[in-house]
Amino acid sequence: MILVTGGAGYIGAHAALALLEAGEDVVILDNLCNSSREAIPRIEQLGGRRVEWVAGDIRNRALLDQLFVRYPIDAVMHFAGLKAVGESVRQPLRYYDTNVGGSINLCQAMAYAGVFTLVFSSSATVYGDCSCMPINESTQCGQPTNPYGQSKLMTEQMLASLGSADERWRIGVLRYFNPVGAHPSGLLGESPRAAPNNLVPYLLKVASGQLPALPVFGGDYPTPDGTGVRDYIHVVDLAEGHVNTLQYLRQHAGLRAWNLGTGLGYSVLELVAAFERVSGVSLPLDRRERRPGDVAQCWADPTRAFEELGWVAQRDLDTMMRDAWRWQQANPMGYEETARPVPSTASLAAQAQGAG
Ligand code: NAD
Ligand code: UDP
């Protein structure tokens, strides 16, 4: 059974579904601080199977210990964390506490339980501001410029030390580029609780009339049309990369990092054009100054993931935009909360004692 922390969230929910489809059993741990419990029945509906799930925090060691007793977990996919760059600048301690402290707590609980296989959600932000594209896993350009990125780098460093200190660990570090899109069913997608900051969630709110215009940050970058270039990757491709990583880790000990990206860079205006093409909706644009902290361009060299994991992104930009738009139209306000009983920490403790 696979423990999926943050499995009610955007990427975690798609990964939980991909695991079900690959025949794995799943238990989700999520405190719902940026997600909805409504994701769980939808994962079950699409996967055709039940998912165990517990509402709780990765920083709660007692709860983690109970989970490892209660369920026959043999590997962990660790998505839980905070991810808003601007918020991390204003609230750094919250970010270090959850992203670094939470990951340390999880690893301690794993080692205590004798579970040593871990897939960690890292980010291309660990590469800092690079000028040489594409970025491969050995590229060293600098440091992340905000606490969110620092928290990912620090966690990677902590995991590397762990891998060196104890050969029982099998750790896959996955550096995501720009995940976008949604499940083609329209049942799973990104449903942030706060106002959107990222390009595609913002664009969807504009397309559906909930926001007046899409800000386009910067028109003077050294890119073909002057707007920022990124490697957008369909969230279903990303989720499938996690299943390949798990299969790899079952065969190989140690720690290894992989880029998960398409290897293609698209500008903001190219992405807007793709969205308009597939949706038939015209987007009002609001040209602005550069957003502080943004790099001009960033795209992956995904060769290592192809050669070692046998993984390659399949879905193109039009598919990403089409699936994102379907999700938005089917769920204009994201997931609707429905009344559904949540297993409490107390009942889990009782179950764990019963099992122990
Ligand atoms: P998300 O916010 O949708 O999902 C994260 C989930 O973790 C949420 O369901 C949230 O409720 C849960 N969570 C947060 N803190 C928790 C805690 N202390 N205990 C238990 N659950 C907690 O974000 P996402 O886009 O699905 O990102 C998943 C992971 O991937 C994160 O670690 C993120 O940093 C990383 N990542 C995301 C992107 C991106 O652009 N979406 C890019 C690179 C890396
Ligand atoms: N961007 C934009 N308008 C927005 C949000 C983002 O023009 O409302 C641009 C941003 O400057 C960058 C690209 O879109 O060039 C991707 O930004 P996003 O925040 O989605 O991801 P990032 O690469 O910053 O993690």
Protein residue with its CA nearest to atom 34 in ligand 1: 83
Q: Residues near ligand 2 with C-beta < 6 Å?
A: 178, 197-199, 202, 215-217, 228, 230, 268, 291, 294
Same-domain status, 219 and 239: no
CA distance 301 to 304: 8
Same-domain status, 85 and 96: yes
Ligand nearest to the CA of 79: 1
Residue 157 C-alpha from the chain's centroid: 19
Pocket test for ligand 1, best of 79, 151, 197, 342 (most atoms within 8 A of CB): 79
CA distance 169 to 227: 42
Please give the structure tokens belonging to residue 101: 């402290």
Looking at residue 1, its pLDDT comes to 98
Please give the structure tokens belonging to residue 206: 């504009």
CA distance 159 to 217: 35
Same-domain status, 16 and 87: yes
Q: For the chain, how many structural domains are there in total?
A: 2
Strands 297-298 and 229-230: parallel
Looking at residue 352, its pLDDT comes to 37
Residue 105 C-alpha from the chain's centroid: 19
* Long-range contacts formed by 205-212: CB under 8 A, 24+ apart: 206/283, 206/284, 207/275, 207/279, 207/281, 207/283, 207/325, 207/328, 208/328, 208/329, 208/332, 210/332, 212/284, 212/286
Residue that has been written with the tokens 């992104």 in this structure: 313
CATH assignment of the domain containing 304: 3.40.50.720
Ligand nearest to the CA of 58: 1
Protein residue with its CA nearest to atom 43 in ligand 1: 123
C-beta separation of 52 from 7 below 8 A: no
Looking at residue 131, its pLDDT comes to 79
Residues 6+ apart with CB under 8 A from 350: none
Same-domain status, 48 and 83: yes
Residue that has been written with the tokens 């975690």 in this structure: 12
Residue that has been written with the tokens 């050995």 in this structure: 138
Same-domain status, 95 and 46: yes
Protein residue with its CA nearest to atom 14 in ligand 2: 199
What domain range includes position 11?
Answer: 1-177+231-261+299-314
Same-domain status, 118 and 202: no
Same-domain status, 72 and 132: yes
Same-domain status, 112 and 146: yes
CA distance 116 to 210: 45
- State in Å: Cα 7 to ligand 1 middle: 8
Same-domain status, 269 and 282: yes
Same-domain status, 135 and 269: no
Q: What is the pLDDT along the chain (356 residues), one digit of tens a residue?
A: 999 999 999 999 999 999 999 999 999 999 999 999 999 999 999 999 999 999 999 999 999 999 999 999 999 999 999 999 999 999 999 999 999 999 999 999 999 999 999 999 999 999 988 878 999 999 887 789 899 999 999 999 999 999 999 999 999 999 999 999 999 999 999 987 788 889 999 999 999 999 999 999 999 999 999 999 999 999 999 999 999 999 999 999 999 999 999 999 999 999 999 999 999 999 999 999 999 888 999 999 999 999 999 999 999 999 999 999 999 999 999 996 443 444 444 444 444 333 32
Same-domain status, 203 and 123: no
CA distance 189 to 300: 23
Whether the model pTM is above 0.75: yes
Looking at residue 193, its pLDDT comes to 79
Same-domain status, 142 and 235: yes
Ligand nearest to the CA of 192: 1
- State in Å: Cα 79 to ligand 1 middle: 5
Residue that has been written with the tokens 């996967």 in this structure: 47
C-beta separation of 105 from 116 below 8 A: no
Phi/psi zone of residue 244: left (φ > 0), alpha (ψ -120 to 50 degrees), beta?
alpha
CA distance 71 to 136: 37
Q: Residues near ligand 1 with C-beta < 6 Å?
A: 5-6, 8-12, 29-35, 57-59, 79-83, 98, 102, 121, 123, 176, 179
CA distance 288 to 77: 38
CATH assignment of the domain containing 200: 3.90.25.10
C-beta separation of 62 from 54 below 8 A: no
